[in-house]
A and B are shown apart, each in its own frame.
Chain A
């Protein structure tokens, strides 16, 4: 089943983390960015965020940046593979949105 799970929908948390990491950020930065972007709707808990970051690193969608010695906080950034995945997801969401508008909203 790995093929089909790769193509499945991303969770909201993963989607927003990938968006946030278009510029390098540490954990707290991601939380704040996602919170602002979603107008306070999406609050990532540290346990959830930590788990998601580790899974995304394993998948190679984001990478940890080598940290300067004076900074303890790890920073992360999206990879090429992560960008590709995100673009595929946006296409999928556009399809959902188009169908929703056409059928449920009865747009012309």
Chain B
């Protein structure tokens, strides 16, 4: 049986936690598509562990294909992908499943994500300001047309969440970097 739901995440760690909670209840995630549609298939509770990664390259690039093949040879499975985001899972019977198990690889992954979400946040901030100015000044009250200005809060809201998450990742990154100075 299939189950579909809509959810909006900016924080991939919260999303990962949610997918694993769903899997623990027997809802196995099988597909994602924008704007936030998650498709599940009912199965045995706790059968899978899910992990999310921001790949270095697009999933169908030779570099990523090689990586995904490697991961699948070690018992993992690529469940879904969107842009550079990839959802992986492995049977929990195979033991704990983490993609990155040392500080240096965890740090690199965080850095990739900070850049990615940070840029999305800044783009939304710019679009928000553009729409606000355009809506208020250029079309102006004389025209009675504020449409662009009405769009601005959406961009500001997205920008706010992206920059909030970026900041929290930044602090996590600093913590990891500090730890990595004294031990592995």
Contact = CB atoms under 8 A, between A and B. Distances in A.
Contacts of A73: 73
For chain B, give the interface size range: 20 to 34
Interface in A59-96: 72-74
B98 interface: yes
Contact of A27 (B74, B100, B101, B102): B74
B184 A45 contact: no
A48 B102 contact: yes
Contact of B101 (A13, A72, A74): A13
A11 B76 contact: no
Interface of A: 11-13, 26-28, 31, 35, 43-51, 72-74
B74 A28 contact: yes
Interface of A is mostly: helix
19 contacts: A11-B104, A11-B184, A12-B102, A12-B184, A13-B101, A13-B102, A27-B74, A28-B73, A35-B95, A45-B98, A45-B100, A46-B74, A46-B76, A47-B99, A50-B70, A50-B71, A51-B105, A73-B73, A74-B70
B70 A46 contact: yes
Contacts of A26: 73
B12 to A, nearest CB: 14
